[in-house]
Chain A
Amino acid sequence: MIDTKESLSQLVSDAIIGEKYPIAKIISKIETEKNLEFRESLFHELSIQNPDAKEGLTIGITGTPGAGKSSLLGELCKLFLEFAPNKKMAIVAIDPSSNVSGGSILGDRTRVTLPRRDPRLYFRSQPSQLELGGLNPYTFHVIRFLRRIFDYVFVETVGIGQNEISVSLISDLSFLVMQPLGGDQVQFMKSGIMEVPEAFIINKCDEESLANSSYYMLESTLEFIKDILPDQSLPPIFKTSVTKRKGIEELLRYILQYQKRKDKNTETLTQLTQWVRNEYGRWGISIWEELESSKWNQAVKRNPLGGIQKLKYEEEERKIVSLIQTKIK
């Protein structure tokens, strides 16, 4: 039982040194409904035991089903172990399968061949609990937790439309994975997805000429929407092939050297807004906006230097809940 303070602290200290079973248990608890109390104590405990922990980089990987995201991740893992001998990575794979019973078959693990018993890798599946892909309601907190232990946290989702690419909102670096000549880019352009990811991957580039023509097509599509891209420069495009083992090394090097991190306050606020909207709808948002701290946080967001102090997610959530409860009364 980890509801008692002592055993939570034991679990956290075991998790910090990278023991897999304690990490797994904590995630299950995060994935449990009404876990606010637990989260508060968990993140509190983490900050006490490991106050100087660096935050791991979050990498979002999304794309249509069949684009080969999982196999690509499998190859990335193998290379990662070789190229980053002192780093650790975690993967959270969100599987869209679900049915009437509520049960699911989490198949992503099948497609990622992982080395056995390697403490530097951790893989966790999550059912999306929605008909389509996208994020699981607990994904954000699971990532927040994993970032405190792992240097890199990969989040894989199935992206089909605007709703499913919210993974990029909570990642430092997000990739959209496509198949060569899939015609995806036109569809994605229509639904406004092309502006969102930081980089693109054309996977399954098993054949040179097909890969190149797809590359140029994507490049020209991106040039077309260049005006609305924030920094006016074209995002990088990677050509990868798992069967030919091509392009994956370049992709990994890019990820390992990636410096730019998103402001975690903004990210937290995004997630909190999304949560309030899910739980209480627009009414909830309007109430929240009345909240003093929210205005303060809006100000922080507008501050180009970032926040003076990190937004405390659980504290905010609690405030909203209590505010709304008083409103209801």
Chain B
Amino acid sequence: MSAEKKEYLLVDENGQGKPDKPWIFRTYAGHTNAKASNELYRKNLSKGQTGLSIAFDLPTQCGYSSDHEVSRPEIGKVGVPINSLEDFRILFDQIPIEEMNTSMTINGTSMWLLSLYVALAEERGVPLEKLNGTTQNDLIKEYLARGTYIYPPKESMKIIVDMYEYSLHKIPKWNPSNICSYHLQEAGATPVQELSFALATAIAVLDAIKERNCFTAEEFEQCVGRISFFVNAGIRFVEEMCKMRAFTEMWQEITTERYAVKNAKYRVFRYGVQVNSLGLTEEQPENNAWRILIESLGVTLSRNARCRALQLPAWNEALSLPRPWDQQWSLRLQQVLAYETDLLEYPDIFEGSKVIESKVKALKEEAKLEIQKIIDMGGALVAIENGYMKSQLVKSQTERLSKINSNELVIVGKNKWTDGIKSPLMTDSDGGIFKVDPKSAEQTLNVLGEAKSRRDVAVAKKSLEDLKKAAKEGKNLMPFSIACAKALVTTGEWADALREVYGEYNPPTGVDGQKLFLSDDKVSTVRGKVEAFTKANGHRPKIVVGKPGLDGHSNGAEMIAVSAKHSGFDVIYSGIRLSPEEIVQSAVEENANVIGLSILSGSHKEIVKQLFDELAHYKAKIPVVIGGIIPESDFDELKKMGIREIFTPKDYDLMSIMEKIIDIVSVEPALV
């Protein structure tokens, strides 16, 4: 048969049908401690997973060892804790790292984690050229959406460039950074914002590399080729597919026009995807299974914009951490899609579609204007530091929430068709959710303590001094970090050494000047109550919105801050990673009428206790409400501790939340 007749099928050079290779199947995983995570990885790999995606716990991400006081409530909760090389030895036990494609979702401490990986490879005698994978190491995500940054943007960029320089020469198959627009969509970004902010960030990275001038022209091309992206796929899957096609085309244009990359291989837009978690609902969580499937289609249907790697959330992620079974179910979905369907047999099935082409064109045009705006401003770093990008995201998010509140945006099971039979998936003895055993932290601490006692203190100390000196002198920090890794330096020690030199970053919150687009009866009811309060007390109600702990998911706190202002409150919101001491200090000094906490990391019980202890220190009786991913089974205990009201993702109606809060504040006897 001639090749022409099979135009609709993918063929090899001999005209034989040859489907595409599937993307890499990953599950974003890690919890409890290195040992438990190692077991989980080995199980997942045996089930047909083809790559590793490591989730680190918050202390590891923020550069604290497990024995630091802020780490305590968070050890092993949202990922695996890594304190030193010893934990990596355990984590990768019996896993051939030379055969793996390992993705590490880590930013502020990415250089440190890569150094540990290199040290492990050298210890095992694995040639570094064989190491394959990605350290996320992204700026926009950190500063705008996820909040696990440590150092100021400029210094973080310097670290990224160091890693490019080192990797290209020593670990050529490693992606030292990954432009991660994923979290932007989680923070409310529109497709145009996702396109423009991600590409502007990639431009900032490449410009910084160019400025260092450490590569030959050919090496620089290779370096462009190493840039990879991590993208979100949302529920509006046709638009999302167009977004991916726009990404691909725009990257081609940028690499050709701005960087004159000649080799076509290095101009390819390479990306991995995790489908959107934001749209997953706590209400009728079984519906999330369908959402995840539909969202996957956006990034797999279109051959010209098909992802290189995919990881799917679990149906119950809006409730808690997924159980191994839930992860397995998500993996099976990918396997069905890739191996049972005929998806991979065809060339691009949307080529020539007028709808798709014109939508892609429109997205590209808007994104180009936005990129130009950012470049005119001085580039992505400036747009992060001056708060521009953050305020744009908070704006999109408030618009999105306003639409959900006014039912303009339909979410099945949440604001429409809310009555239903309870899911039998939730009736298992564990209630359908996963909880980390609080005792497991001890194991991590034991490994840490042992590693510290076993190491040569003088060598560890010297390697840290060398690292600081190198940082002050502006040298490439990779070799010094690897030396630290080998000397069994801890995560906290490494990060502290650089904190000393670079300082810690405190970014704009993005909530100044934001407005909600809500003006219905509910708003007037709430405003009426606020006015009544003001009249009775002579001043407006004051709320301190607090985001304690290391969890940087600040969207909820930002929305509450904006909604409270919309309702007529005076709002104090100071951003993320505050200690309970700081939050209480604000509330006391400002004589706040209420404290609203936002906690998503699962550490609510520990943090709430610390907060009430601190209130007792000032003899202050200020009502406290809390919002976040909080399982119902914890409600009683929290209320016993003194929490007045608990809000979960079910409570999406901002004005209902505000009404409950103003009611609480209004019944309090006037404090003055």
Which chain A residues have a beta carbon within 8 Å of chain B's beta carbons?
1-2, 19-21, 23-29, 31-35, 97, 99, 101-107, 109-111, 113-114, 116-117, 122-125, 127
Contacts and interface: CB of A to CB of B under 8 A. Distances in A.
Q: Which of B508, B566, B591 has the most CB of A within 10 A?
A: B591
B591 A114 contact: no
Contact of A113 (B506, B515, B573): B506
Interface string B584-609: 01101111000000000000000000
Contacts of A102: 530, 534, 540, 568
A174 B182 CA distance: 47
B1 interface: no
Contacts of B50: none
B667 to A, nearest CB: 16
Contact of B568 (A29, A103, A106, A113): A103
A25 B672 contact: yes
Given A97-B513, A110-B509, A20 B573 contact: no
Given A103-B571, A105-B512, 15 more contacts: A32-B672, A33-B539, A97-B513, A99-B565, A101-B565, A101-B566, A101-B568, A102-B530, A102-B540, A105-B514, A107-B509, A109-B586, A110-B509, A111-B506, A123-B589
A33 B538 contact: yes
Nearest to B538: A32
Interface in B462-476: none
A150 to B, nearest CB: 13
A117 B613 CA distance: 13
A279 to B, nearest CB: 17
Of B512, B534, B585, most A-chain CB atoms within 10 Å? B585
A25 B671 CA distance: 7
A110 B29 CA distance: 34
Contacts of A26: 672
Interface in B534-559: 534, 537-540
Interface stretch (B87-95, B303-311, B485-493, B574-582): B574-582
A113 B574 CA distance: 10
A106 B566 contact: no
A97 B512 contact: yes
B591 A105 contact: no
Contact of B572 (A35, A117, A125): A125
B579 A31 contact: no
Closest 4 CB pairs of A and B: A32-B538, A24-B591, A103-B565, A110-B574
Contacts, number: 113
A253 B514 CA distance: 39
B539 A31 contact: yes
Contact of A116 (B514, B568, B579, B619): B579
B670 interface: yes
A27 B591 contact: yes
B399 interface: no
Nearest to A126: B570
B618 interface: yes
A101 B581 CA distance: 30
Interface string B615-650: 001111000000000000000000000000000000
Contacts of B527: 101
Contacts of A116: 579, 581-582, 585
Contacts of A125: 570, 572, 590
A101 B575 contact: no
B510 to A, nearest CB: 10
Given A31-B539, A116-B579, A21 B588 contact: yes
Contact of B569 (A34, A103, A113, A124): A103
A105 to B, nearest CB: 5
Nearest to B621: A21
A155 B590 CA distance: 15
Interface in B502-528: 506, 508-509, 511-515, 527
Interface string B640-672: 000000000000000000000000000001111
Contact of B672 (A29, A99, A107): A29
Interface string B82-124: 0000000000000000000000000000000000000000000
Nearest to A23: B589
Given A1-B670, A21-B618, A32 B568 contact: no
B561 A32 contact: no
A313 B209 CA distance: 64
Max chain B C-beta neighbours (<10 A), residue from A1, A35, A107, A117 = A107
B567 interface: yes
B571 A25 contact: no
Contacts of A103: 530, 540, 564-571
A102 B530 CA distance: 10
Contacts of B575: 110
Contacts of A21: 588, 591, 618-620
B339 to A, nearest CB: 51
A277 B566 CA distance: 32
A1 B537 CA distance: 12
A155 to B, nearest CB: 15
Contacts of B569: 103
Contacts of A19: 618
Contact of B565 (A105, A111, A123): A105
A207 B591 CA distance: 40
B512 to A, nearest CB: 5
26 contacts: A24-B589, A24-B591, A25-B672, A27-B591, A29-B672, A32-B537, A32-B672, A99-B515, A103-B530, A103-B566, A103-B567, A104-B570, A105-B512, A105-B514, A106-B570, A106-B571, A107-B509, A109-B586, A109-B590, A111-B506, A114-B585, A116-B581, A116-B582, A116-B585, A117-B581, A125-B590
A105 B561 contact: yes
Contact of A101 (B513, B537, B567): B567
B501 to A, nearest CB: 13
Given A24-B590, A103-B566, A106-B572, A34 B581 contact: no
A74 to B, nearest CB: 9
B69 to A, nearest CB: 13
A229 B503 CA distance: 42
Contacts of B574: 109-110
A35 B538 contact: yes
B554 to A, nearest CB: 12
Contacts of A124: 589-590
Given A32-B538, A105-B512, A106-B571, A2 B672 contact: yes
Contacts of A113: 506
A164 to B, nearest CB: 18
B588 A20 contact: yes
Contacts of B670: 1
A35 B566 CA distance: 27
